[in-house]
Structure 1
Amino acid sequence: MKVLRKLSLLLTAAMITTALAGCGGAQKSSNSDSQEKVSNINISYVKSPLNVPSIIEKRKNLFQDEFSKDNIKVTFPEITEGSKMTEAVASGSLDFCNAIGATSVILGAANGVDIKIIGMYSRAPKAFTIMAKDPNIKSIEDLKGKKVVGPKGTILHQLLLGALKNKNMKAEDVQFINMGIPQGVSALMSGSADAALVAGASVPQAVAKGAHIITTGEGILDATIVIAARKDFLDKHMDIAKRYMNVHNKSIQLMKDNPEETYKLTSEETQISVDQVKEMYNWYDFSPKITDKDIKELEKTQDFLMENGMLKKKVDIKSLIQDISK
């Protein structure tokens, strides 16, 4: 009896252990499946300064058409500030930054955000300007002691400091006030600012109101905008990231094949005339390929951030780049 009772207890324990092991394996399998399955992709949407590929991708439903076949929903949160984008990446609520300034990516990475550059979005030095309304302000030298408004820590801010440096001037030679582009243009038009840092569609709009361009970014910077993604998303879903870039390349091809429709859709989305879109469109290089020149420009951007006290520790620029085209 004692022997039988002992065998019964051993068999019961073995069955319980097997059952628990089976439950554990099923849970692990379930977790693994849930990690691989993607139900939603969040892609930032920024249409300004003149982000034509994003406009075409959204208006032509390119991402939806690609991912709906797998029942993946695509959402486009309109996050227009680079710092807000990197915050969203850090929190896991944004998967792809479909047009983000290199300054924001470098600053985010330096502050611990696990983010990777997976392609170039645009280079458009002519689209970034310093503008004035007073006809007596014609050059950078004329800005000495004047009030200049614009967004701090951005490509436009980098343009201002680069332009000053080219004329052997310092940041302290102007009164710089941190301000968004629309607010800056309003301050310029009202006379409460002497110059404003203006980009994209706001440039022709300001010209129409009587402002003029002192300088563009030509010869000063490339105005590098990149495509970035969450590293943990890339690690888990490289196949989706590659499909994402394929869709982006498709939008660029559509732009080339259908210029008139591209101008029309962009005009409708940005509320500027087709003629203005055509003029500005020629300022942009939308090639997504990351070149050696782009890497040097990213390093130059990092130097700008360091020199102006916005970055305390450098990051390895090449380690920020993850080429998913291979």
Structure 2
Amino acid sequence: MKKRIVLVLFTLFTLTAILAGCGGSAPKTPEKKAAAPLKDLKVTYVKQPLNIPSIVDKANQTIVKGFEKDGTKVTFPEISSGAKQTEALAAGSLDIASCLGGTSAILAASNGADVKVVGIYSRAPKAFNIMVKDPAIKTAADLKGKRVVGPKGTILHQILAAALVKEKLSLKDVEFRSISIPAAVNALLAGEADAALVAGADVLRAQRAGARILANGEGLVNATIVIGVSGKFLKEHPETVKKYMALHQESIDFMKKNQDKAFEFTAKETGLSPEDVKLMAPWYDFSTAITAKDLKDLEETQEFLLANDMQKKKIDIKSMIAEVK
């Protein structure tokens, strides 16, 4: 009996000493702190070539109103350059690149930037065109030795390369000069170039001045534009990204249900007529889900960049994908 009492007392003494050494209480599991509400959200606003969902959102203030409920103020820096968008994402001065060229996303990722693709903004192969005036130029094969102008390292440049490859030619077979789309149209119309790489409303401008479409991305390049964020931002604010995608979908749904109103907003914002908007709108597919075809198109875009020495390091395209549902 005495032995049992001694054993119990010894056990109690030992437990008391352990607890005293730990501050008098059993250790607690650290509580995970909830992420602080985001005070500011920076989302790019890009209206060209014909980004109807973004224009609808601006008119209806869908994203602004949606985040107001959380106490989050949304601002819309107008950064149209893909390279500058990815630089801003990396620097933390931009949170969501709402409309980012697939080429820009791949180049940034291959250079070590932590860019994640969370959805597709658009696919518009018919909106990106090679345009000419000379009636003697009937196919891409006739561009051999000719002066071609347009923005380098873009979807348009990729379409030119694909059209030439189809005719067993390459970019080395043309005299290419990199300039902006409006400048390319002006050069074509002034006779300073034989072909121009043209997208969006500038296609109509060129056509009405006597130019015609030689080829576009249809059957060559799907012209995939993505929605991008930094990996860091996605990790720290997954619910914010998820909510953004849901609000973006609201603008797409509005566009489908209220087509005339959406076209009216777009005409006012771009300076086009509602008839022109109606003519161009079918060129675009704004569904956000990332498909196997989208992945293939991004992989082909990477091959184009590598083949033309615009990208040095090959990456796994799937490693960029972080679709938010």
Q: TM-score, normalised by structure 2?
A: 0.88
Within the alignment, does 1:152 sit opposite 2:152 as a pair?
Answer: yes
Secondary structure of 1:229's partner? strand
**Alignment-derived partner of residue 141 in structure 2:** 141
**Alignment-derived partner of residue 286 in structure 2:** 286
The one-letter amino acid of 2:246's match is N
**Alignment-derived partner of residue 210 in structure 1:** 210
Q: How does 1:163-242 map to 2 (within 5 A)?
A: 163-242=163-242
Q: Distance in 2 between matches of 1:164 and 1:102?
A: 21
Offset at residue 225 of structure 1 (A): 0.5
Q: Distance in 2 between matches of 1:172 and 1:323?
A: 37
Larger radius of gyration: 2
Q: Distance in 2 between matches of 1:298 and 1:127?
A: 18
Contact 2:37–2:72, Cα closer than 8 Å, also in 1: no
Q: Distance in 2 between matches of 1:212 and 1:293?
A: 29
Structure 1 residues 254-292: Cα deviation after superposition (integer angstroms, max 9, x where no partner): 001100001111111111111111111011111100111
Contact 1:39–1:73, Cα closer than 8 Å, also in 2: yes
Structure 2 segments unaligned to the other structure (5+ residues): 1-22, 24-30
Secondary structure of 2:283's partner? coil
Structure 1 residues 23-68: Cα deviation after superposition (integer angstroms, max 9, x where no partner): xxxxxx9xx77x6231111111111111111111111101111011
Q: Distance in 1 between matches of 2:97 and 2:247?
A: 14
Offset at residue 90 of structure 1 (A): 1.1
Within the alignment, does 1:255 sit opposite 2:255 as a pair?
Answer: yes
Contact 2:305–2:311, Cα closer than 8 Å, also in 1: yes
Q: Distance in 1 between matches of 2:135 and 2:75?
A: 45
Contact 2:37–2:71, Cα closer than 8 Å, also in 1: no
**Alignment-derived partner of residue 162 in structure 2:** 162
Q: Distance in 2 between matches of 1:300 and 1:141?
A: 22
Offset at residue 117 of structure 1 (A): 0.2
Within the alignment, does 1:54 sit opposite 2:19 as a pair?
Answer: no
Q: Distance in 1 between matches of 2:319 and 2:246?
A: 23
Offset at residue 139 of structure 1 (A): 1.9
Q: Distance in 2 between matches of 1:157 and 1:216?
A: 11
Q: TM-score, normalised by structure 1?
A: 0.88
> After the TM superposition, which segments of 4 or more aligned residues of structure 1 sit over 4 Å from their partners?
none
Secondary structure of 1:79's partner? coil
Q: Distance in 1 between matches of 2:148 and 2:161?
A: 11
Offset at residue 99 of structure 1 (A): 0.9
Structure 1 segments unaligned to the other structure (5+ residues): 1-17, 19-28
Q: Distance in 1 between matches of 2:110 and 2:267?
A: 37
The one-letter amino acid of 1:271's match is G
Secondary structure of 2:116's partner? strand
Greater shift, 154-163 or 180-189, is seen at 180-189
Aligned length: 295
Q: Distance in 2 between matches of 1:201 and 1:48?
A: 8
Structure 1 residues 49-95: Cα deviation after superposition (integer angstroms, max 9, x where no partner): 11111111111101111011122111111111101100111111111
Q: Distance in 2 between matches of 1:36 and 1:190?
A: 57
Secondary structure of 2:322's partner? coil
**Alignment-derived partner of residue 117 in structure 1:** 117
The one-letter amino acid of 1:238's match is P
Within the alignment, does 1:324 sit opposite 2:314 as a pair?
Answer: no
Secondary structure of 1:301's partner? helix
Secondary structure of 1:153's partner? coil
Secondary structure of 1:70's partner? coil
C-alpha RMSD over aligned residues: 1.4
Greater shift, 160-169 or 272-281, is seen at 272-281
Q: Distance in 2 between matches of 1:138 and 1:278?
A: 28
Q: Distance in 2 between matches of 1:235 and 1:170?
A: 42
Q: Distance in 2 between matches of 1:292 and 1:143?
A: 33
Secondary structure of 2:176's partner? strand
Q: Distance in 2 between matches of 1:138 and 1:98?
A: 37
